[in-house]
A and B are shown apart, each in its own frame.
Chain A
Amino acid sequence: MTNDWVDVKNSDCVLVIGANPAENHPASIAWINTARDEQGAKLIVVDPRFTRTAATSDLYCSLRSGTDIVFLGGLINYTLQNRLYNEEYVKYYTNALTLIHPDFKGPVDLDGLFSGYDHETRSYDTTSWQYQTEEQPVTVVKRATSLDDPNCVFAHLKKHYARYTPEVVERICGTPKDKFLQVAELFCATGVPDKTGTIFYAMGQTQHTVGTQNVRSMAMLQLLLGNIGLPGGGVNALRGESNVQGSTDMALLYHDLPGYLGCPTDKHGNLEAYSAKFATTSYWANGPAFFISLMKAWFGDAATKDNDYAYHYVPKVSGDYSWISLFEALYQGTIKGLVCMGQNPAVSGPNARMERKALGNLDWLVVMDLFETETASFWKAPGIAPADIQTEVFLLPAVDAIEKAGSIVTSGRRMQWRPKVAESPGEAMEDIWTLDRLVKALKDVYAGSTEAKDRPILDLVWDYGDPPDVELVAREINGYALEDVKDASGEVLVNKGEAIPGFSTIAKAADPSTTACGNWLYSGYFAPADDGSGVTMPAVKRRGQKDPGEMGFYPYWGFTWPANRRVLYNRASARPDGTPWAENKKVIWWDEEAGKWTGYDVPDFSATKPPDAEADPAGAGLDAHSGTDPFIMKPDGKGWLFAPSGLNDGPFPEHYEPLESPIQNPLSSVQNNPVITVYDTATDEEIGDRVGSADKFPIICTTYRVCEQWQTGSMSRTLPWLAEVQPDMFVEIGKELAEQKGIENGDEVIVTSARGEIRAVALVTPRWRPMNVNGGKVHQIGMVWHFGWQGLATGDIANDLTPHVGDANTRIPEYKAFLVDVRKA
């Protein structure tokens, strides 16, 4: 989230699209209601289904699952056509004025594609997407003087979105035009300086083959309305698990290293090549220093200047190793061992039966969990003969959240410490204890090895005490001084042995290898800090109630990365001249007398850079940005309405149909996202990567969650209260479709897709309604994905029906729009 949970109370309009916070993030509804009660804010819900959040909304609007780019594109077009955008914000803070390569062409000209597409490789050459530059004498980006310049981003934006009319929204999304216009009128009214609108989204946006572009659409709309960087604004991802933000920050993802440094690839043969990937004209210019500090935390004395700080110890990726690729490799038999720490892929993965079959190819499986999950017991799943499965399984009992100490991060990036408050059962052990024993055993089995490949294990710094002390782990993540840390002038910033107060210490250090920091973004979270009452403690443990400005930022409660900032990009909360856009939307502002930014939040900007500071194109890092460039992580300091890099499927979002769709794409002849990977493994088997068609599977299906169960159910179907209130695997079906199929509420039904079939209880409700799409009637249904064969409440696995296909950029599976049929059992 760019903002925080409590911050939504500052909003004038809350657009929930692709999320269901009343169900899945219940605490947030209280703050939405505070905004409604105290300042008359409106709550809009856009969703295929009339959800629990919709039931409490001011305005509900339906859309067909998988058409968010059209709906959001319609809002962008409405904003442009009616000149509802914040023009000053757009001119100064976004790349609207930036000139694009004259060869750039978009879907309007190229029937759904962007310039540079290669049909053979199914990928784009992005040369024509680049900014125009000139040498004077260093390379600078060319910007137009007026939004009317035909080569500027803004002109391209208007041309691209002109097709996304209310009529097209109605035709593709199935949303009645008048409903769409009501949403547009309400939400796009937040483009004025004293109003802010926020967008809440979750997996309803991301779990599509166009998921990344869905999210970009929201960010672009918010940039146009001037809603980013302000209280009650932002683009807010409601994350699904208690610490999925933290696990992401810690880079349990193939492509990353802690703090989003990025995993090196085979293109980065040495540290110099890896360091060159960081943009030199943004805050990322400090990336190489943060990496060196990470290597010191991991490999200590073995990481020296002479050996590129042990850069060669870090594995390099060649291509894609993400979830779907991983399970394809497992299915093909190239992966022999799997460690599964607190996750249950047997239930949660796409085309889950195929993924479970793949597990049988393992020589060994290690599961660390609280319960005997479906993954741990995949070898005795219904219909499986254990004798056929040759996999060794080690099931290690773990302790739960309240039985160990450590920190987690909310969706709002706020880190909170949990002390141990209860005892754990039997021989269940903390994860850090298990990992500690495992590392010690590995160091033993590799002891005495003289092979170069084994040095990373033997040299791994692993000294957290016995039993391991989580506070020592926290200290390493926070970062500490290995030597006196000095700046370029020789002044000591931090004494040897002390915790570093924040990542700026690493950035300022003349020699970053005098620090050891496990995650630069978390730097400061375990350093001593005041809780607002004069009591000092590690920042993450604070429970201070002080709230300067009464904005709900609560800067003395826990610690929010980065640098305890509550609102990301908050330089944009002030006008270009440094004064707040409006008195009621103040976050930070320029204090001319003091010569610094001040306010209620930590500035997300150079603290002493004045608003009228000129950019120095030859300068390093943020010196290359002017005083009106709020997006400090971007190489041009601007919010990107047009993305010249970073995306595989286009600089603007363009609508393509889900992999499985009941209609042909009405907008162009390109049916699906043209750069997605569609696998064809074992298509001759029922469980293979088969793609369904509308003649056999005419109904759109989506998966979702309910408040009373959680994820794969391993932590909810095992609890008597929760098993009792939501006991059954169900599929929710609209009344008209149910009548057509002869299904009554409570009937057992069979849901089929190209990947197989499952049984479920029919929940017949008016919450699903048929839609008129492209001239025909379309039905949608939905299933919970909480069920499996273990625990107190059991049922079939929804993901046995979902396709093995992912987004073009992130490769998140398309769980939210696939085709099925349903019949009475």
Chain B
Amino acid sequence: MTRLSRRSFLKLSAAGGGGGGLLLLAGLSEAHARGVGDFPLHKKVGEGFTICPYCSCGCGLIIATDEHGHVINSEGDPDHIVNRGALDPKSISVRQLSNSPLRLNKVLYRAPGSEQWEEKTWEWATVEIAKRIKQTRDETFVGSVEVEDREVPVNRIEGIAWLGGAANNSEDCYLACKLARALGVVYLEHQARI
């Protein structure tokens, strides 16, 4: 039986994980914590490192999941340079964020004047949204404006606004900016302003 301290258990997870620790330890059923009597882990558990999605301290968390990728535990990452294992009530609740029954799991659509949502497909929604964007963009496109008696090209739309988001990853934000600006959006704002 292999004996592992909590720290080396995590290090092993890190070394093998690199980009993704999901279900990393699925085959390792005999990990143990130091100072506690032997108790074999029978459940297949994957552990991975992540960063808390709430405040901007950037605390490290370890998320444990079952074989279906559902979160079964969240705890502080003792190796993380900022929080050294400590977490606040929001961080520790991350597991409920992932498991919440209130989470949206279907595309929903609300028609003009309607009192309810309808379930739709992604295919339908993206095509319909693209049509709305095109129509509003084409109707409100401003090619140029006059500045000090000269026509200056401005290539912008004033009929579409884009908001968000400070909880999205930087890569999401980059693509949102790239798309919005390519469309000509100037009403581009998010949480950082307010």
Contact = CB atoms under 8 A, between A and B. Distances in A.
Interface string B158-194: 1111111111111111111111111111111111111
Contacts of B42: none
B150 A269 contact: yes
B59 interface: yes
B108 to A, nearest CB: 4
B129 A441 contact: yes
Interface string A370-408: 111000000110000011111111111110111111111
A554 interface: yes
A445 B159 contact: no
Contacts of A436: 175
A250 B173 contact: yes
Contacts, number: 491
6 nearest interchain CB pairs?
A426-B105, A342-B165, A406-B169, A423-B69, A421-B48, A410-B58
Contacts of B89: 707-708, 721-722, 725
A248 B107 CA distance: 28
A445 B184 contact: no
Which residue among A26, A348, A417 has the maximum number of chain B CB atoms within 10 Å of its CB? Answer: A26
Contacts of B79: 543, 545
A422 interface: yes
Contacts of A519: 174
Contact of B171 (A313, A429, A477): A477
Contact of B191 (A247, A537, A716): A247
Given A244-B191, A343-B163, A421-B48, A269 B152 contact: yes
A407 B187 contact: no
A240 B57 CA distance: 9
B27 interface: no
Interface string A263-280: 100110100000000000
Interface residues of A, number: 164
B126 A409 contact: no
A552 B108 CA distance: 47
B167 A243 contact: yes
Interface string B52-66: 111111110001010
Interface string A524-542: 0000000000000100010
A387 B69 contact: no
Contacts of A392: 109-112, 132
Nearest to B84: A30
Interface in A572-629: none
Contact of A401 (B84, B122, B167): B167
A250 B174 contact: yes
Given A335-B161, A342-B165, A419 B48 contact: yes
Contacts of B53: 242, 400-402, 408, 715
A498 interface: no
Contact of B134 (A411, A442, A710, A811): A442
B172 A710 contact: no
Contact of A394 (B65, B81, B129, B157): B129
B167 A453 contact: no
A719 interface: yes
Contacts of B162: 252, 338-339, 341
A147 interface: no
B90 A404 contact: no
Interface string B70-101: 11000000010111101011101110111010
Contacts of A537: 18
A653 interface: no
B182 A456 contact: yes
Interface stretch (A63-71, A223-231, A318-326, A732-740): A318-326
A110 interface: no
Contacts of A711: 191
A247 B57 contact: no
Contacts of B185: 315
Q: Is the interface of B mostly helix, strand, loop or mixed?
A: mixed
A245 B147 CA distance: 34
Contact of A422 (B71, B82, B106, B153): B71
B117 interface: yes
B177 A427 contact: no
B177 to A, nearest CB: 5
A368 B169 CA distance: 14
B172 A431 contact: yes
A174 interface: no
A380 B108 CA distance: 15
A402 B167 contact: no
A400 B87 CA distance: 19
Nearest to B183: A457
A572 to B, nearest CB: 25
Interface in A349-385: 349-350, 363-364, 366, 368-372, 379-380
A379 B147 CA distance: 40
B102 interface: yes
B190 A252 contact: yes
Contact of B57 (A25, A254, A263, A312): A25
Contacts of B1: none
B26 interface: no
A788 to B, nearest CB: 14
B191 A249 contact: no
B154 interface: yes
A246 B157 CA distance: 25
Nearest to B170: A246
A811 B55 CA distance: 23
